[in-house]
Amino acid sequence: MRYSVIYEDIGQKDYKETWDYQADIFNRLVENKKPLTGVGESVQNILPGTLIFVEHPHVYTLGKNGSEKNLLLDLIQLKAKDASFYRIDRGGDITYHGPGQIVGYPIFDLELLKIGLKEYIYRLEEAIIRTVDEFGLTASRLEGGTGVWLDPEVPGKARKICAIGVKASRYITMHGFAFNVNTDLTYFNNINPCGFTDKGVTSLQKELGVSQDFESVKRKVKKNLQGVFDLNWIKE
Q: Is residue 100 part of a domain?
A: yes
How many domains does one find in the chain?
A: 1
Q: Is residue 41 part of a domain?
A: no
Q: Is residue 219 part of a domain?
A: yes
* Angle at 77 (CA atoms; ends 83, 101), nearest 5 degrees: 30
Residue stretches of the chain with pLDDT short of 70? 36-44, 66-67, 70, 72, 74-76, 79-80, 193-198, 236
pTM of the model: 0.89
- Annotated active-site residue 194? The verdict is yes
* Angle at 158 (CA atoms; ends 67, 77), nearest 5 degrees: 40
What is the predicted pLDDT for the residue at 40?
46
Q: Is residue 25 part of a domain?
A: no
Q: Is residue 32 part of a domain?
A: no
Q: Is residue 40 part of a domain?
A: no
- Give the H/E segment covering residue 133: helix 117-133
pLDDT tens per residue across span 19-74: 999 999 999 999 998 775 554 444 557 899 999 999 999 998 888 776 677 676 76
- 3-class secondary structure, 54: strand
Range of the domain at 87: 3-7+57-234
What is the predicted pLDDT for the residue at 76?
64
CA distance 89 to 23: 11
Pick the catalytic residue from 83, 163, 194, 204: 194
What is the predicted pLDDT for the residue at 23?
96
CA distance 56 to 103: 8
What is the predicted pLDDT for the residue at 156?
85
CA distance 42 to 38: 9
What is the percent of the chain with per-residue pLDDT over 90, rounded to a whole number? 66
What is the predicted pLDDT for the residue at 196?
54
CATH number at residue 81: 3.30.930.10
